[in-house]
Amino acid sequence: MRKFNLKEEYDSLISNANIINLMNKIHEYKGKQSYLLDSKKDILDTLLNIAKIESTSSSNKIEGISTTDKRIKEIIVQKLEPKNRNEEEIAGYRDVLSLIHENYKYIDINKNMILQLHRDLYKYAGYTYGGKFKNSQNYIEETNELGEKKIRFTPLSPVETPLAIEDLCKSYNELANNETCDLLVLIPIFILDFLSIHPFNDGNGRLSRLLTLLLLYKANYMVGKYISIEKKIENTKESYYEALEKSSVNWHVNKNDYSYFAEYYLGIILNAYKEFAIKIDNQENKKMVAYDKIMMLFKENVIPIDKAFIMSRFPNLSETTIERNLNKLLKENNIIKIRGGRYTKYKWNK
């Protein structure tokens, strides 16, 4: 039977030059994470809502489960009830994703947790196999251009599966409690083993991506909350499957090479951090442009002006943005409030 000794796999990867390079770059971005999470909360709320939609949509699309963009937003943002089987599975993913976002600190990595997340993934669909390990041998297949299928990988048998998941979680937790171990390298090892066990009749891919986020958050890599890692996997789906296939060769006899999958996964995480930094900067620039425009308007007008006047001059700026910048100008003593209530006006104070 396949053995799970993640320490050996970890040691084999931690000396890989490409992996060390990726780790160091991710650590640089992570070093700025605390500051961004504390000081950019208004921007983060916007990014969080976008990422929820993209993550739920992309992770399901990878498995051929989809609906219209309009319905995706309604199901995720408005939490409307699903109308068909695809939407039932999308709604299940939405709920598990929210659970992980809000409670990751309190979710333990063990067999029962994995079963519970799988059960919740199918709570709207009502399938009897939700929350239960597979009851028949499954296979990972590929289809060629002629539509012909061939078996690419044979996962563990149903009999072996429960113990394998227990051993995998136990080995991961032992290393997770070791402060000398960088979980950034350990996470893709865990995910590859999970996918190779393929413990469920259905939902293995989607659950693996949810587990990826859970493990990253517990290790304090929070980028997946604000930039959709699932979307990045969807956009590089061919590379994802290629790396998975290369790293699963000889997996059954503990002689597989995890580096292909680990490099792919770390590359995705690094790319997400890069995009995170760019989006924060872009949002900051937008706010600075609005601030500068409004301040210049006050400088150009001797008489007091109100919010309606500002909105008429800058129709592309939202009312919330204008109010935020007015408050900022007031706090900085750059403008003076002339009249309160419905007809509040302001004038330049320099």
CATH 1.10.3290.10 maps onto the chain at 6-280
The answer on pLDDT for 209 being more than 90 is yes
Rounded mean pLDDT, 222-246: 96
pTM, to two decimals: 0.82
Rounded mean pLDDT, 254-258: 96
CATH hierarchy code of domain 301-348: 1.10.10.10
**Measuring CA to CA, which residue among 55, 8, 2 is closest to residue 186?**
8
The Cα diameter of the chain in Å comes to 83
The answer on pLDDT for 340 being more than 70 is no
Instruction: Please write the tens of the pLDDT for every residue from 284-337.
Output: 767 668 888 899 889 888 889 999 899 888 887 888 889 999 999 999 999 999
- Residue 234 confidence (pLDDT): 97
Q: Is 346 exposed, middle or buried (0-12, 13-18, 19+ CB in 10 A)?
A: buried
* Lowest-pLDDT choice from 153-157, 235-239, 339-343: 339-343
Instruction: Please write the tens of the pLDDT for every residue from 29-42.
Output: 998 888 877 777 77
**Number of helical H runs and strand E runs in the chain:** 15, 5
The answer on pLDDT for 202 being more than 90 is yes
Residue with the bigger pLDDT between 172 and 338: it is: 172
Instruction: Please write the tens of the pLDDT for every residue from 263-272.
Output: 999 999 999 9
Position 73: which residue type?
Answer: K
Strand-by-strand arrangement of the 305-306 sheet: 305-306, 345-348, 335-339
Distance CA 119, CA 115 (A): 6
Question: For a pLDDT cut of 70, what percent of the chain falls above it?
Answer: 98
CATH 1.10.10.10 maps onto the chain at 301-348
The answer on pLDDT for 338 being more than 80 is yes
Q: Is 6-280 assigned to CATH 2.40.110.10?
A: no
